[in-house]
């Protein structure tokens, strides 16, 4: 099990509520997203697949190039592909929209 941490200080748009998508027990991944307050976005990834920090960084960099929410994201991964990670992140943001 590997734990990765990322920070995006430029993500400063306020976020009003929480969102959850996916289920880690499904062989997929779970994303928990909540407001982080000032200081930008923080992402914590717990993954069963070690040694892919650069791939996680690329997926998250792409996500935060489009989304500027000040969020705290917890990702519990069970070997999801980068495409599934991107999909779940988009779903979490969609759940924030009233």
Query: Structure pTM?
Result: 0.92
Select the more confidently predicted residue: 24 or 79.
79
Query: Within 13 Å, how many C-alpha atoms sit on residue 22's CB side?
Result: 26
Averaged pLDDT, 12-28: 85
Averaged pLDDT, 82-95: 92
- Indicate the domain borders of the chain: 2-96
Structure-token pair, residue 58: 């690329």
Given a contact cutoff of 8 angstroms between Cβ atoms, the answer to whether 45 and 3 are in contact is yes
Averaged pLDDT, 79-86: 89
Counting every residue written for the chain, the total comes to 98
Confidence at 76, pLDDT banded by 50, 70, 90? very high
Q: CATH fold of 2-96, please?
A: Ribosomal Protein S5; domain 2 (3.30.230)
């Amino acid at each position: 099990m590997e734990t990765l941490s990322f920070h995006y200080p430029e993500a400063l748009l306020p976020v009003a509520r929480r969102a959850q998508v996916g289920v880690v027990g499904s062989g997929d991944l779970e994303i928990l997203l909540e407001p982080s307050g000032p200081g930008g976005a923080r992402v914590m990834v717990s993954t069963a697949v070690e040694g892919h920090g650069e791939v996680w960084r690329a997926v998250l960099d792409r996500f935060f190039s489009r989304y500027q929410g000040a969020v705290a994201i917890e990702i519990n991964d069970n070997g999801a592909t980068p495409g599934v990670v991107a999909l779940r992140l988009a779903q979490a943001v969609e759940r924030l929209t009233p």
